[in-house]
Structure 1
Amino acid sequence: MLKIHFIAIGGAAMHNLALALQKNGHQITGSDDEIYEPSKSLLQKNGLLPDSEGWHPEKISKDLDVVILGMHARADNPELLKAQELGLRIESYPSFLYEYSKNKQRIVIAGSHGKTSITSMILHVLKKLNRKFDYLVGARIEGFELMAQLSDAPIIIIEGDEYLASPLDRRAKFLLYQPHIALVSGIAWDHMNVYPTFESYQESFKELIKNLPKAGTLIYDETDPILKEMPKLSQDDVIKKPYKEHPALIENGKTILKGDDGVKYPITVFGNHNLKNINGARLICEQIGIEATEFYQAIQDFKGAAKRLEIVKDNGKSIVFKDFAHAPSKVKATTEAVKQQFPERKLVACLELHTFSSLNPAFLPQYEGTLNLADEAIIFLSEHARAIKRMDKIEEETVQNYFKHSKLTVIRDREELEKDLISKDWSNANLLMMSSGTFDGISFQEL
């Protein structure tokens, strides 16, 4: 049993890793200066919610086996300084996860978009086929209690984020996992606050590919113009498996896969990006010994990860979708997917600019054309989020100039947004709400 303290336990991956380790019998404590739902309720339910928010150096003692440091903490964090003073072992959660899974086959799903969906698809198939596996994924999946699991399983499936590992380790998280099999779903500039240029952003992916081990496997989207040249950087004996959209057709609003065996398999997810995701997931499963027919049968009832084209409400005439899309490539793919699936319905796409990148005027040109397939577009700019991130106010004219959409509205107040949406005619129309934030706490169910 290890005695482990989490600095910034409220993060999505951090609190799930804490819960998974507690489940394995380890003694867990943690701190954070802000904890939101659903982290708060889960930590409370399992007795891990800190007594009070904030940083408490007195929690750091010599008997701790390891301190896991989250990216939300800063380099001058009082608990971190105390841990350094005591000479304790300090790990980021990716470096800790690598140490914990050293003797497993490590499969890492990376890319600017689609990595959560692809990871979720693989986990869904493995579970349906009763395979033994560990995992870390970036969203809640139906049928899984937590977003992380650690056991004595022989393999681990990890969603590999390109964001920095910790305030002390400025490498991309996925570089720390040292995968045997890596999938890269595509590369589109994101996280401008830590990757100031597209070139610097690409470097981490190049490193991932260069560092794949002898006889390792690289699976990649061959239709991505940036990615298609990168496999050449890998060692000669790395197995390279390109993929593109899985062959499919749409019948009565339902997407149907054309299996290798000639059989048709109806699925619940849709959109060209998800057809790519399915093909990537299929190739990973093939690498770990799953037959194509087994995969097709298992994937049919996959409903998607939380907030990935998640249906909030469908009344037969109108659907409300919520999606985590925030980066330009994700916004474009998600908007196109909904319009292509329901071409006869009006589409209102509402995007919250919430991240450091999206709130930076220098990054806004990346969004040009991303909402073109929406009949109406709304950009939500939270004044609260802007104040927390200490970003300058973006003028409406700037937004209009960069998005270049003829029917675009800019809204900054949640109540005004609700009023505007409710006032519209929703007969034969769909609403797509996209954000990595919360639209200032809007209730999708009430909406």
Structure 2
Amino acid sequence: MEKKDFKRIHLIAIGGSVMHNLALALHDKGLKVTGSDDEIYEPAKGRLAAAGLLPAQEGWFPEKLDTSIDAVILGMHARPDNPELLRAQELNLPVYSFPEFIYEQSRDKQRVVIGGSHGKTSITSIIMHVLRHTNRKFDYAVGAQLEGFDRMVKLSDDAPVIIIEGDEYLSDPVKRVPKFHLYHHHIGVISGISWDHINVFPDPDTYREQFRIFAEMTPKAGSLIYNQNDEQVLLVSVPRNPADISYIGYGVHEHSIRNGKTILHTKKEGDVEIPLFGEHNLSNISAAKEVCKKIGVKAHDFYEALKSFKGAARRLEQIGESAQATIFRDFAHAPSKVKATTEAVKRQYPQRKLVAVLELHTFSSLNKKFLPQYAGALHKADEAIVYFNPKTVEHKRMEMLTENELKQAFQNPDLKVYTDSAELQEHLVHHNWQNANLLLMSSGTYNNMNLETLTKAVL
């Protein structure tokens, strides 16, 4: 089937991080784009306004929809009873979720989908960096703003391949199917499986099942690239039809650490020094290398490109450095990510004291049933700190956490717990940062704590 030719598109919940990027990408292609949302924040607001796509007022306006619209794209933030969605259904307009629409736009391309509980943004961004470095034409859809790319989505008519970060979270409020089931990959990656999204997948088995379905969707002559060091991944990636499908296992890239620098050991290229570090990143590099090999990138070009890859934003991102201390910021919030990130910084700088600060911000991380998953996650830190905002707990209508419960869950009697970001900042500012590193892990903002002020004080 050929991809459909769309001229006019309406986005319900246009203000979402990936939705507004899709709107901009479609606008770049010359399509007529409209949209609505009941709340639009920066940076989406400014970026939509600059392109002339910002709705005149916030809210839902069913009268915006008529039969001249070729497609309606439904964002996850909308509700099933959204007035614009009901109007679209009444008019029999084609309604797509974000992943369904990306698939529709890439039917004639080779689709590479990177799945996994952790590492998928990093693997995707390494591949994109390499392809750009080698002047390859490609489209993409990622879940984070990547350095050097001004959009999170790019859709063109001539790129032969599309690189997609395949999130396992739900596609839209109506169908409620994991996003990565809807892209129909030719090359699939599973980087790791570690139970997350307790609000959607109530137990580890239900969660893991979504990855088994993804693995089994690999088509004839397709490839499944999987992390062979992850026990959960091995449970779903067992080669079922090896005659038809290429199963490729990968592990941590051979390397050593010299004076705080990571050196990759390669057969033909010799030793390659790279800015990235941490075993999870060295595993991500191996996954990206296997994908690049499959789509025709030579090993020499891959390693050459890797030398200039600094990492995805907020993925072990260095936000400040002095002779005595370094400050890292990371998006880590799920237990496996927190553990891997903490271990990576300690292993890279074994002589320095490590202060690790984790903000509990997501539905899963604030859920008392889920908390025991964090057992041992901060063990490698010399000083472990957990912060959460009681207002966030109230807003999510969850049971309030106590200091004792957190110490038990993390299995760390020395854990420091803060519920006031000003007090936390005060503690960090007056800390002794001689020969010490600070690691800030959060998918939130520590209640808008000023990181610039904190960085200056630490360094």
Q: Deviations over 1:126-170 (max 9, x none)?
A: 000000100111222221111111112000000000000101111
Alignment partner for residue 194 of structure 1, among 197, 200, 224?
200
- 2:176 is equivalent to residue 173 of structure 1: no
Alignment partner for residue 263 of structure 2, among 239, 256, 259?
256
For 1:38-437, list aligned pairs within 5 A.
38-151=43-156, 152-232=158-238, 234-236=240-242, 237-261=244-268, 263-437=270-444
Q: Which moved more, 1:404-413 or 1:270-279?
A: 404-413
Contact 2:146–2:152 at 8 Å: present in 1 too? yes
Contact 1:212–1:235 at 8 Å: present in 2 too? no
SS in 2 for 1:41: helix
Q: CA deviation at 1:50?
A: 2.4
Q: Which moved more, 1:205-214 or 1:54-63?
A: 54-63
Query: What is the alpha-carbon distance in structure 1 between the residues aligned to residue 393 and residue 38 of structure 2?
Result: 19
Instruction: Read off the aligned partner of 1:179 and give its amino acid letter.
Output: H
Instruction: Read off the aligned partner of 1:318 and give its amino acid letter.
Output: A
SS in 2 for 1:266: strand
Q: Deviations over 1:270-290 (max 9, x none)?
A: 000000000000000000111
Query: What is the alpha-carbon distance in structure 1 between the residues aligned to residue 50 and residue 269 of structure 2?
Result: 48
Q: Deviations over 1:30-77 (max 9, x none)?
A: 222233332222222222222333323232233221111111111112
Query: What is the alpha-carbon distance in structure 2 between the residues aligned to residue 418 and residue 173 of structure 1?
Result: 37
Unaligned runs of 5+ in 1: none
Q: CA deviation at 1:379?
A: 1.1
Q: Deviations over 1:226-262 (max 9, x none)?
A: 1113223643311011000000111111101111215
Q: Which moved more, 1:379-388 or 1:187-196?
A: 379-388
Contact 1:210–1:233 at 8 Å: present in 2 too? no
Q: Which moved more, 1:228-237 or 1:174-183?
A: 228-237
Contact 2:407–2:414 at 8 Å: present in 1 too? no
Q: CA deviation at 1:197?
A: 0.8
Please tell me the root mean square deviation across aligned C-alpha atoms, in Å: 1.3
Query: What is the alpha-carbon distance in structure 1 between the residues aligned to residue 239 and residue 62 of structure 2?
Result: 45
TM normalised by structure 1 equals: 0.97
SS in 1 for 2:196: coil
Instruction: Read off the aligned partner of 1:408 and give its amino acid letter.
Output: L
Q: Which runs of 4+ in 1 moved over 6 A?
A: none
Query: What is the alpha-carbon distance in structure 1 between the residues aligned to residue 87 and residue 123 of structure 2?
Result: 39
Query: Would you say how many aligned residue pairs link Structure 1 and Structure 2?
Result: 447
Contact 1:206–1:233 at 8 Å: present in 2 too? no
SS in 2 for 1:52: coil
Contact 1:325–1:436 at 8 Å: present in 2 too? yes
Query: What is the alpha-carbon distance in structure 1 between the residues aligned to residue 391 and residue 67 of structure 2?
Result: 40
Instruction: Read off the aligned partner of 2:17 and give its amino acid letter.
Output: A
Contact 1:384–1:440 at 8 Å: present in 2 too? no
Contact 2:269–2:300 at 8 Å: present in 1 too? no
Query: What is the alpha-carbon distance in structure 2 between the residues aligned to residue 383 and residue 45 of structure 1?
Result: 36
TM normalised by structure 2 equals: 0.95
Query: What is the alpha-carbon distance in structure 1 between the residues aligned to residue 422 and residue 63 of structure 2?
Result: 42
SS in 1 for 2:238: helix
Q: Which moved more, 1:72-81 or 1:233-242?
A: 233-242
Instruction: Read off the aligned partner of 2:55 and give its amino acid letter.
Output: P
Contact 2:276–2:310 at 8 Å: present in 1 too? yes
Q: CA deviation at 1:120?
A: 0.1
Contact 1:260–1:292 at 8 Å: present in 2 too? no
Q: Deviations over 1:346-385 (max 9, x none)?
A: 1111111111111110000100000000111111111232
Q: Which moved more, 1:272-281 or 1:378-387?
A: 378-387
